[in-house]
Amino acid sequence: MKILHTADWHLGRIYHGVSLLEDQAHVLDELVALVRAERPDAVLISGDVYDRSVPPSDAVALLDDTLTRLVIGEGVPTLLIAGNHDSPERLGFGSRLLEQAGLTMRGSLDAALTPVVLRDAHGEVAFYPLPYAEPSVSRHCLADDSIADHHAALRVQLERVRSTHDESRRSVVLAHAFVTGGTASESERPLSVGGTGAVGAEVFDGIDFVALGHLHRPQAMRDGRINYSGSLLKYSFAEADHEKSVSLIEIGADGAARTRRIALRPRRDLRILTGTLAEIVSGAERDPGRDDYVLARITDTGAILDAMSKLRAAYPNALSIERPQLAGSGTGAASGADHRKISMEQLFSTFYQEMTGLELDASATELLHGEIAAQAGEEREAV
């Protein structure tokens, strides 16, 4: 059985004020073309299809169009679950009707845990789509008071899956979770406030292949039996070094899974450039990726007037500027000290040092002393 696994599309995402919808549409065209070329038996989408529980209408239209092309156009059965960014009820609308057309959408958790069964030359494969749910929702839906966290919620679901699973079939689970040992990025929203929200990999024991969403870096565990396809695009500058891909999995007659990652070519890359503003701007001439989304880490120490306009003249889609030199090391003498107990001179020189990384020189110190003395004189007169 050949499966295409993807997740974390985050349709409608806005990053630094810019809608990524055109970039998402571009890369989804590529995904549909890949399905046409590879002819998988199923497409799995493991949650966070939208970026928000109430997605913008053009994001809804893009999902509608993409799913229609996959299911009707290419005739490939497609399974989709809700992630923590999705609204279960909205995503689940019409799902019983759509299931008859070959599209399985599981928004809300259903205690029945009914599998979708597909067949290939080696026999049947049961797919269990387990949508993301808050632990309190799982506790209520599964009627099990022992469920206090995500680990217990999935442990109980997988116990029930194993107890009813027909052993003559191979098994695939779709879930949206943070499995212990996984590497997180910056753009995932934590699943639990206070706790880790993590799920032990052992809850999936006995399942032939687990298609996960949530972590945005492509990664696998347990010899590839547990797979994160990763997100559709780079959704934060912390992911600048990721290579985004979809996973193509072959499940053999014995249930063994072999995974290939197929890189996606975005319309615009998301990159970090480091150097002085002048270096970055002059480098743009020879840069084939001038339309990329850029974060410039500028190493200049002096003041720069209107740095963003200068940067955008070279990189029109530049999103942000960082000035690490000015960020402040926080190691100054008065750092963390009670600001009410330190002198004005000390406070100012520490601030200057934290902002620039340099000590106040003699002439600046003299100027500062003069200003402070003059200020004190004015205050005395005012009293």
Contact flag: residue 239 with Mn ion (CB under 5 A): no
Determine the interface stretch with Mn ion among 22-30, 42-50, 86-94, 112-120 (rule: CB under 5 A). Answer: 42-50
Q: Which stretch binds Mn ion (CB under 5 A): 2-10, 74-82, 306-314, 351-359?
A: 2-10
Reduced to 3 states (helix: H, G, I; strand: E, B; else coil), residue 26 is helix
- Of 139 and 216, the one with the shorter C-beta distance to Mn ion is 216
Residue 48 or 292 with smaller CB distance to Mn ion: 48
Residue 296: in which H helix or E strand, if any? strand 293-298
Our finding on whether 86 is near Mn ion (CB under 5 A) is: no
Token pair of 239 as six digits: 């992911």
The letter for the amino acid at 337 is A
Nearest residue to the partner Mn ion, using Cβ? 48
Please report whether residue 149 would count as binding Mn ion according to CB under 5 A: no
H-state helical runs in the chain: 21-38, 57-68, 88-92, 95-99, 135-141, 150-164, 277-283, 307-314, 344-356, 362-382
> Which two three-digit tokens encode residue 175?
């879930």
Smallest distance, Mn ion to C-beta of residue 190, A: 11
Q: How far is CA 142 from CA 111, 157, 159, in A?
A: 5, 8, 12
Nearer to Mn ion, 165 or 216 (CB): 216
Rounded to whole angstroms, how far apart are CA atoms 80 and 4?
12
Which region, judged by CB under 5 A, interacts with Mn ion, from 3-11, 89-97, 266-274, 281-289?
3-11
Q: Which span (5-13, 54-62, 348-356, 365-373) binds Mn ion, by CB under 5 A?
A: 5-13
C-alpha to C-alpha distance for 295 and 274, rounded to whole angstroms: 9
Position 8 contacts Mn ion (CB under 5 A): yes
Residue labelled with tokens 């499940």: 251
One-letter amino acid at 108 equals: S
Chain center to CA of 131: 17
Q: Which is nearer to Mn ion, 23 or 48 (CB)?
A: 48
Q: With respect to Mn ion, which residue has the nearer C-beta, 43 or 318?
A: 43
Pairing assessment for the beta strands 245-251 and 226-228 based on DSSP bridges: unpaired
48 binds Mn ion (CB under 5 A): yes
Shortest CB 282 distance to Mn ion, Å: 37
Site residues (vs Mn ion, CB under 5 A): 8, 48
